[in-house]
Amino acid sequence: MWLNKDIVSIGDFSKEEILEVLERSENMVSYAKTGHPEKPLRDKIVATLFFEPSTRTRLSFESAAMRMGAGILGFGALESTSVVKGETLIDTVRIVESYSDVIVIRHPMEGAARLASEFAQVPVINAGDGAGQHPTQTLLDLFTIKRELGKLDNICVGIMGDLKYGRTVHSLSKALSLFKIDLHLISPETLKMPKHILKDISTKIKVQEHEDLEEIVQDLDVLYVTRIQKERFPDPEEYKKVAGSYYLKTSHLQKAKKSLIIMHPLPRVDEIPVEIDNYPQARYFKQAAYGVPVRMAILDLILRGE
């Protein structure tokens, strides 16, 4: 199902295909520490082209590749590349495809991964395109919910933060609409979920919008928090108006279910205070760690179909 496929948008995949990744990821959890004993990707090379900053996504892809025995090449900063000489994205992709078996790309421009996938002969994985999509983050988010909560159906999920520019939540809400989910979107008025996404998911599941977490916190099984995407604001003054406008408080958690899980794609800025890190509900570091087994499964499925 996955062999040689591009992963550009989570919307390109069926529920069955998504569940297959989650199942394969389960098998990879123990190998994420020790490395896969058979090194099944030992003849493969994974290219990571990061035109935008990243810590978790790039390093967990590279760790996953190494745990599977693959070689890696690429860049995490543009200074050392011909991009600074004016080389186009398409030319860069055409070169790198001849050096590698799969290209993982992050770019500030929405649509960049789709464009790259149209030109590349090798599969392209979107590791974040501007305010567009971040499909592999969604796969690890779903994996976290399934593993930590034990199910993906009949749950109440709250997504709080910058829903306008946050690509992780664009992909996540689309994927959640494939399951039996009660979805609550919590954001300031100016950072609401884009209409086209809201329209799409509302035809499949029940979605409610809120401006205040207090209204709904007691019902949630999952609370997914995101930072305000400062770098995407066209006007810094607009950012200043919403900066610090919402954050999770310990008083919220007094009202929440004991079984609530708190997630965040990270990096966080000030929306979750560090004292919450010690609460049993906090799962964001575990979530980041699951990036490795999930990406091991993704690379294996794309490069070997297994």
Considering only CA atoms, which of 105, 103, 121 is closest in space to residue 113?
105
Q: Binder to ligand NCD among 25, 100, 168, 177 (CB under 6 A)? A: 168
* CA–centroid distance for 191 within its chain: 19
Q: Which of 48, 57, 92, 144 is catalytic?
A: 57
Rounded to whole angstroms, the Cα distance separating 200 from 293 reads: 30
Let me know if 85 is a catalytic residue: yes
Is 174 a binding residue for ligand NCD by CB under 6 A? The answer is: no
Examine residue 230 and tell whether it contacts ligand NCD (CB under 6 A): no
Q: Which long-range contacts (CB under 8 A, 24 or more apart) does 150-154 make?
A: 152/179, 152/181, 153/179, 153/180, 153/181, 154/180
**Helix, strand, coil shares, percent, the chain, to 5:** 45, 15, 40
Active site residue 134: yes
Structure tokens at 223: 């609370």
Residue 36 or 187 with smaller CB distance to ligand NCD: 187
Residue 75: CB minimum distance to ligand NCD, A: 16
Q: Choose, by CB under 6 A, the member of 5, 56, 230, 257 that binds ligand NCD.
A: 56
- Min separation Cβ 233 and ligand NCD, Å: 13
164 near ligand NCD, rule: CB under 6 A: no
Residue number with CB closer to ligand NCD (134 or 147): 134
**Shortest Å distance, C-beta 138 to ligand NCD:** 10
Structural contact between residues 260 and 280, judged by C-beta atoms closer than 8 angstroms: no
Total binding residues for ligand NCD by CB under 6 A?
Answer: 11
Reply yes or no on whether 24 is catalytic. no
Residue 227 CB, shortest distance to ligand NCD, in Å, is 5
DSSP 5-33: --B--GGGS-HHHHHHHHHHHHHHTTHHH
3-state SS assignment for residue 252: helix
**With respect to ligand NCD, which residue has the nearer C-beta, 75 or 119?**
75
In the complex with ligand NCD, the residue whose CB is nearer, 182 or 233, is 233
Cα–Cα dist 306/41, whole Å: 11
DSSP character string of 57-85: HHHHHHHHHHHTT-EEEEESSGGGSGGGG
**Annotated catalytic residue within 5, 56, 230, 232:** 56
Look up tokens 């499949």; give the residue. 204
Binding map of ligand NCD across residues 117-156, x = CB under 6 A, - = no contact: -----------x-----x--x-------------------
Let me know if 144 is a catalytic residue: no
Catalytic residue numbers read 56-57, 85, 106, 134
Residues near ligand NCD (CB under 6 A) are 56-57, 128, 134, 137, 167-168, 226-227, 265-266
